[in-house]
Structure 1
Amino acid sequence: MNEELGTVQAALGARARLLQWADGGLVVDLLRAASGAGWLDLLTTPTTVEALAEAGGVSAERARRVVEVFVAAGVVRDGEGPAYVLTEEFAALNGAPAGVRLDDAIDMVTAARDRVRSALSPDVRRTWEQDALVVARNWGMLPAAATRAIFSMAYDAVPAYRDRLAAGGPLLDIGSGIGGALLTTLTMFPELRAVGVERAEDVVKELRERAEAAGVTSRLEIRCADAQEIDDEAAYEVAYWAQAFFPDDARAVTLEAARRALVPGGLLLVQELTPPAQDAPEARLHSALDALVADSRGVPPVRTAEELAAELRDGGFEDVEVTTTPIGRLVLGRRALD
């Protein structure tokens, strides 16, 4: 009897954990629906349940239930009187002042779910193409004042790299995405000229549109090409490699192409995308899921700054240094003086 009771209790505990995991996904789905119904825009200012109900075409009671979920999740808070308003964090995400958009984040979550669902399907190939634009939009930022302030903190931590940007470069940007880093950097340094390399055609199309909007097209060449095929020789003072989005079988060749493209003494900068996993169970789960999704896309799990430094040394770079900045750790390497 005691053994059977223990088994039932264990099963109930597992079920409770499963439901807890599901709660986050349900909130994301509800956020997508609320965004589509225009609720989040309404909630940028104090809004009543009745006004939300009318906008969504649902009953006041249903609207109240949804609001209760959002209050519990920290999406909205009490406003003035019987009204509600987005919390500061979600107001910023919905407003996207620097291009970090709620809808893009939700699309990224959906794409990750699709990857996880196919993780045990042997017929599913590891391809990056199917959600390349979704990933690029999630990581891309607009060249706004806030973004420039963030990048300024990073560049101030690597003054040798910053000074070459200020002097006009040129810069080789490898894996440009939709240009969050590239376009921001170009707007920060008016003398800088750059070449951006990105192989996903739909991503390149959006990159071109964003470059036009940023007013930097006269100083930027965009190539729709595989970075492994870069054939420039000693042409760039500095290079940035978005290494986190490159598969294992392309990394060594890409790194060699970058080294060749730099002038002797030229500098290559890479970034540790996220810090190493913490010991908390939630952090370990997040890290493990990130690694699984990355593997299903054909790219490696997150690499630490120390691992990146070793990779640059193996690729023939000298004076490799890891620098801690207010926005994460950077790794800088130098092409040898021939």
Structure 2
Amino acid sequence: MLWRAYALLSHGRDRIGLGSWRFRSSAPTRRKANDVLKVLEEADTAVWSVSALSACAESGLLLRLGRPATVGELAAGLSIPSAFVQCLLDMLAGFGFVTWDSGKAVASPALMPFTSSAGAETFRAALRAPLLQAEDFRRRLGGGTLTLEGWSHADDAIIEAQGALTQHWTAQALSKLRFLPGLVPRLERPGAVLLDVGAGAAGLSITLCRHFPHLTAVALEPASHPAKLGEAHVRQAELTDRIAIHQERVEDLADQMAFDLAFLPQMFLPDKIIERALQRIFCALKPGGWVLVAVLAHDGQSTLSAVNQLKNLLWGGNTRDVPHLKPLLELAGFDPVIRAPGRKALRMICARRPNRRDPP
């Protein structure tokens, strides 16, 4: 009897405070010049909103909103003008992130988790990563150096921000791993091994190894600069005995039945190697092991879909989406292949290498 796994793993979140940026669609022939101006005005508001939210983290304001304080107290503690502090607080209040009582501001219950050191760093990274990557995109386009050869950032700030986001997403998803049959017991046993493809700053490997004491990880990062940053983070986390950074490409992976779990951010892999990569991961997994494949969804005609398609192209993954990847995973031998529920921008496909004990 064939069993079904109901995967509830979610790897993405809406951007903090902004949600999805969408405009009402209508027939292009009915659009007017004023509609264009309205979109540009809303774009202007979105850009400045992101910059102001980022300033709340960069300035240290978030860290001080865990307890009530006046504008003057915040300004003095941060050594920035009171008028600037007031503007940032007004921005946060507009999103429902700050409340006032007797002339003092304090984080709302929704924002309170982000007033800790770890929370503020996540908030900062969630804004810094897209801001820096968008600026790099604009600069390369203007300089005539834009290519579609994939992720090639060497800027520490970009790599670090992406790594911090990965750690946050992984921590948020941990509780949902239990919905993948057999996975959590595997990861809790001595000898459990993770394959982290495109590890970057090693955020995913570090988070999972901290959560599962017996887990070790092989983190593949072919680019030398991100690999060095990943090694530094592993040392800082005191996990050098459990996480190994390999400057190796997934399509060249030769391991056989070595891993219990693999993570594949496929949007960074070009079309010419994706089938080979899936085949190598299938062979590298132990029978009954799972691969989690991250996908930027761009179905439909919404602005969000168009933005995700642009990111997919810039990151090297062409325009692949869930419907394209599912048959490739099945062709490689995975069964079942399940898309995790949810309609977030970043989605997850969960696929299992059949266990030898599974019925045909």
Q: Answer yes or no: same fold by TM over 0.5.
A: yes
> How far apart, in 1, do the equivalents of 2:325 and 2:88 lie?
45
DSSP 3-state at the match of 1:101: helix
Is it true that 1:102 corresponds to 2:123 in the alignment?
A: yes
Q: CA offsets per residue over residues 196-245 of structure 1, 9 Å max, x none?
A: 21123333333333333444332332212222222224433443323233
Q: Which has the larger radius of gyration?
A: 1
Aligned residue number for residue 337 of structure 2: 321
Structure 1 63/259 Cα, relative in aligned 2: closer, same or farther at 3 Å?
A: closer
> How far apart, in 2, do the equivalents of 1:87 and 1:112 lie?
30
Is 1:271–1:329's contact at 8 Å kept on the other side of the alignment? yes
Is 2:297–2:305's contact at 8 Å kept on the other side of the alignment? no
> How far apart, in 1, do the equivalents of 2:273 and 2:221 lie?
14
Q: CA offsets per residue over residues 172-209 of structure 1, 9 Å max, x none?
A: 22222333332233233333333221123333333333
> How far apart, in 2, do the equivalents of 1:207 and 1:38 lie?
26
Structure 1 215/152 Cα, relative in aligned 2: closer, same or farther at 3 Å?
A: farther
Counterpart mapping for 1:1-338 below 5 A: 10-55=32-77, 60-78=82-100, 80-95=101-116, 97=118, 101-114=122-135, 116-117=137-138, 118=140, 123-126=145-148, 127-130=150-153, 133-134=159-160, 136-141=162-167, 147=171, 150-154=173-177, 156-167=178-189, 168-263=191-286, 265=287, 267-273=289-295, 284-301=302-319, 303-304=321-322, 306-314=323-331, 316-322=332-338, 324=340, 329-334=348-353
Is 1:53–1:60's contact at 8 Å kept on the other side of the alignment? yes
Structure 1 100/335 Cα, relative in aligned 2: closer, same or farther at 3 Å?
A: farther
Structure 1 227/17 Cα, relative in aligned 2: closer, same or farther at 3 Å?
A: same
DSSP 3-state at the match of 2:335: strand
So what's the TM-score if we normalise by structure 1? 0.77
> How far apart, in 1, do the equivalents of 2:334 and 2:82 lie?
65
Structure 1 134/190 Cα, relative in aligned 2: closer, same or farther at 3 Å?
A: closer
Compute the displacement of 1:269 (Å): 1.1
Structure 1 267/120 Cα, relative in aligned 2: closer, same or farther at 3 Å?
A: farther
> How far apart, in 2, do the equivalents of 1:36 and 1:188 lie?
29
Q: CA offsets per residue over residues 56-75 of structure 1, 9 Å max, x none?
A: 65654454344323322334
Structure 1 278/294 Cα, relative in aligned 2: closer, same or farther at 3 Å?
A: closer
> How far apart, in 2, do the equivalents of 1:202 and 1:98 lie?
26
Moved over 6 A (4+): 325-328
Whichever residue aligns with residue 332 of structure 1, its letter is: A
Q: CA offsets per residue over residues 139-198 of structure 1, 9 Å max, x none?
A: 32169xx92x741322x1112333332332333222223333322332333333332211
> How far apart, in 1, do the equivalents of 2:317 and 2:121 lie?
23
So what's the TM-score if we normalise by structure 2? 0.73
> How far apart, in 2, do the equivalents of 1:301 and 1:99 lie?
33
Is 1:37–1:56's contact at 8 Å kept on the other side of the alignment? yes
Is 1:140–1:177's contact at 8 Å kept on the other side of the alignment? no
Structure 1's unaligned 5+ residue stretches are 1-8
Structure 1 288/192 Cα, relative in aligned 2: closer, same or farther at 3 Å?
A: same
Structure 1 166/54 Cα, relative in aligned 2: closer, same or farther at 3 Å?
A: closer
Structure 1 251/153 Cα, relative in aligned 2: closer, same or farther at 3 Å?
A: same
Whose helix fraction is larger, Structure 1's or Structure 2's?
1
Q: CA offsets per residue over residues 30-84 of structure 1, 9 Å max, x none?
A: 2333434332322232221222343565654454344323322334332x31011
* Percent identity of equivalent pairs: 20
Whichever residue aligns with residue 314 of structure 2, its letter is: S
The structure showing larger relative contact order (alpha-carbon pairs under 8 Å, at least 6 residues apart) is 2
Compute the displacement of 1:98 (Å): 6.6
DSSP 3-state at the match of 2:304: helix
Structure 1 vs Structure 2 CA RMSD: 3.5
